[in-house]
Amino acid sequence: MKRLLAFLFLTASAFAADSKPDVLFIAVDDLNDWTSYLGGHPQTKTPNIDRLVARGTAFTNSHCAAPACNPSRAALMSGLRPWTTGIYTNNDPAQGVLKDVVTINRHFMANGYNVQGGGKIYHNINAEGRTDSWTKWQGLFPSANDHEANMNGLGRGHFDWGSIDAKPEDMGDYKSTSWAIDQLKNAPTDKPLFLALGYVKPHLPWYVPQQYYDRFPLADIKLPVTKEGDLADIPKAGVKMAGPESDHAAVVKADQWKKAVQAYLATISFLDDQVARLLDGLDQSPRKDKTIIVWWTDHGWALGEKEHWRKFALWEETTRTSMAIVAPGVTKAGIESKAPVDYLNIYPTLCELTGLPLPEHVKGASLMPLLKDPSAKWDGVAICSHGKGNHSVRTDQWRYIRYADGSDELYDHSKDPYEWTNLAGDTSLSDIKTKLAASLPAADAEVKPTAGDKPKGSGKGKGKGEGKKKKEKKKADE
């Protein structure tokens, strides 16, 4: 902590509010590529997410650093990969491991920004209410999210869905949007604003008001595109990640697949309505023309592809994300970049866009060349890790997965966008495998238990809504 405080003291500067752009930093929980502009599902309706990303550069081949909330957010916010920190899964400690790391919010705060945070930014929601992390931390907002009885009949905890008797304004994300709009319109103007808003939906359970379900009649629902026997050419380590005998078997047996797809689409639609309110609020604020927008979803989500559900795997559905950057004076509207990027690129990009110094530990490449010219040469790849020793590499054409036991998978996206044919055993592609594997670490850090971390869900923050029922908080934390 002494090193951190020394850094904050040495780098703190009194920047004039009009010399630095504001930043609207939007995180979304569990949203995959089911947005209209990415085409992940033909029935999804996201006109406002589309409206947001169309304001700048949308990265259509963006991927998380890890397909789980905790390691994905820890990597993005710290600029450090899971194999460096030892934060691989939701159960690995993060708060203590990162206690001396200059994270994005700390860096902006040290450099004169009014750093406001609300909703879900880090996985351990309550642990980030510390004075060294935020000018003010609001935390979660109370939500009409609880339902005492399981609604889908599966009896699998928060893996549940169904409409609830509530109004949109009763939902936590509605309230957090109202809070963010108020910040945009009324935050003091003596400092530039870094506003971090973390949306919880479409995280499970998929409980939203009936009006959102009505937008997607069950009789018309289309299932994701799948292939029977898709796991036949997958190594044992991959099949274990898929867990076909778990969620997928339960969903199919209970005839809940279409209902689950309907529920996910409905919950995304609720989120999209909040994005509409947020954009309108920004446009009505004095910050409209000087605000950088960073839009990111923490990982993908599977709904039966490869007989897998949730995140927690290294295939396209679980690593691909929705990500866009709007930077006044830098980006142009309606631009898409197909370059393979991941979330280690966000920290250095934000520093370059705002003119902040780059902390020494941040090694990712800035996306500035692609923001200026989406066709610019890009040598980077997107790397995703899930558990110690398990990694995937994504380029414009290939996905290579290597598991801790040495087994692997290789997919050619130019011919196989659904990753149905594992080419890892094709000896003619050995050079490609070797080249892709060169981006992976020779060794992975061990998980680092620290005294600074409490068991998941045990934090006691003081932000708005933090004192709600333990059941609700546990759902948001998972």
Domain residue limits, the chain: 2-382
Is pLDDT at 230 greater than 60 in this prediction? yes
Distance (Å, whole) CA 126 – CA 470: 12
Average pLDDT over every residue of 326-337: 98
Question: β-strands 161-164, 206-209: how paired?
Answer: parallel
User: How does pLDDT run across 361-392, given as a tens digit for each residue?
Assistant: 999 999 999 999 999 999 999 999 999 999 99
Question: pLDDT class for 21, splitting at 50, 70, 90?
Answer: very high
Mean pLDDT of the chain: 91
Percent of the chain with pLDDT over 90: 83
User: How does pLDDT run across 379-438, given as a tens digit for each residue?
Assistant: 999 999 999 999 999 999 999 999 999 999 999 999 999 999 999 999 999 999 999 999
Q: Give the pLDDT of residue 125.
A: 63
Residue type, 26: I
User: How does pLDDT run across 265-303, given as a tens digit for each residue?
Assistant: 999 999 999 999 999 999 999 999 999 999 999 999 999
Is pLDDT at 461 greater than 50 in this prediction? no
Q: Give the pLDDT of residue 95.
A: 85
Percent of the chain with pLDDT over 70: 88
Confirm if 136 and 462 have CB atoms less than 8 A apart: no
Q: Give the pLDDT of residue 361.
A: 97
Question: pLDDT class for 15, splitting at 50, 70, 90?
Answer: very low
Q: Which of 69, 248, 299, 386 is catalytic?
A: 69
Residue 45, CB-side half-sphere exposure with 13 Å CA sphere: 14
Q: Give the pLDDT of residue 132.
A: 75
63 is annotated as an active-site residue: no
Q: Give the pLDDT of residue 130.
A: 67
Check whether domain 2-382 has CATH 3.40.630.40, yes or no: no
More confident residue, 147 or 349: 349
User: Cα 177 vs. chain centroid, distance in angstroms?
Assistant: 18
Average pLDDT over every residue of 231-246: 98
Is pLDDT at 238 greater than 60 in this prediction? yes
User: How does pLDDT run across 299-318, given as a tens digit for each residue?
Assistant: 999 999 999 999 999 999 99
Distances (CA, A) of 13 to 8, 131, 348: 10, 18, 19
- Lowest mean per-residue pLDDT among 27-41, 174-188, 424-438, 450-464: 450-464
Distance (Å, whole) CA 96 – CA 100: 8
Question: pLDDT class for 4, splitting at 50, 70, 90?
Answer: low
Question: pLDDT class for 93, splitting at 50, 70, 90?
Answer: confident
64 is annotated as an active-site residue: no
Tokens describing residue 23: 């930043």
Which residue, among 206, 210, 208, 203, has the nearest Cα to 144 in the 3D structure? Answer: 208
Distance (Å, whole) CA 157 – CA 195: 33
Q: Which of 41, 63, 107, 123 is catalytic?
A: 123
Is pLDDT at 331 greater than 90 in this prediction? yes
